[in-house]
Chains A and B, each alone.
Chain A
Amino acid sequence: SQKIEQNSEALNIQEGKTATLTCNYTNYSPAYLQWYRQDPGRGPVFLLLIRENEKEKRKERLKVTFDTTLKQSLFHITASQPADSATYLCALDRDTSGTYKYIFGTGTRLKVLA
């Protein structure tokens, strides 16, 4: 079955450094992959989407890469700030039927230390 994995351990980094989060998947070839941010007690907020034919996507301090050979996506936050502390989820589309159903990872909790 399709499986998506994120590092369940929290990631602590110093303010100003680059945070890198990993998302690995198996048994599927998604057309695209998404990244979301979730704060405690809130719903996830969409950040970025990257398609299978794109190697890299950027938005302000965020960068996402997508390696379909390794079946992996990396999510980078440059010049990290304490306000970036949150849980980050990756998700991939489960099928190509047009119903836009997704599988979500369990998320990686990021803590940026001042």
Chain B
Amino acid sequence: SQTIHQWPATLVQPVGSPLSLECTVEGTSNPNLYWYRQAAGRGLQLLFYSVGIGQISSEVPQNLSASRPQDRQFILSSKKLLLSDSGFYLCAWGTGDTQYFGPGTRLTVL
């Protein structure tokens, strides 16, 4: 069966510090991969999606970036965090018309 991992589960970072969140998927090949952010009281906002290694599409202009160095690995990064980057970050994978989400990372920027 397929499994999706995200780490860390929680993170507290100062403004201006770098960020690296990792997501890995097991049990499937060539999945579509997604990064979402969920701010308090708001819906899921699609940040990036990828249909293959090295293929990244950005949905929202911001100081975040994403990379897919391997088929089942998706990384979300930032060089300098802003207060507004706080939120719940979710990675998801899909091979068709359904998405499966990871456990999420709660990021607090102080």
User: Interface of A with B (CB < 8 Å)?
Assistant: 4, 32, 34, 41-46, 49, 89, 91, 93, 99-102, 104-107
Contact = CB atoms under 8 A, between A and B. Distances in A.
B49 A106 contact: no
> Chain B binding site: helix, strand, loop or mixed by DSSP?
strand
Interface stretch (B14-22, B66-74, B98-106): B98-106
B56 interface: no
A57 to B, nearest CB: 13
Nearest to B41: A106
B87 interface: no
A104 B32 contact: no
A93 B88 CA distance: 22
A43 B51 contact: no
A99 B44 contact: no
A42 B43 contact: no
10 contacts: A34-B97, A34-B99, A41-B104, A42-B103, A46-B98, A46-B99, A49-B97, A91-B44, A99-B32, A106-B41
A106 B43 contact: yes
A102 B106 CA distance: 22
Contacts of B94: 100
Nearest to A45: B101
Contacts of B103: 42-43
A100 B101 contact: no
Interface string B27-67: 00000100010000111101001010000010100000000
A44 B101 contact: yes
A42 B49 CA distance: 20
B99 A93 contact: no
Q: Which of B96, B99, B102 has the most CB of A within 10 A?
A: B99
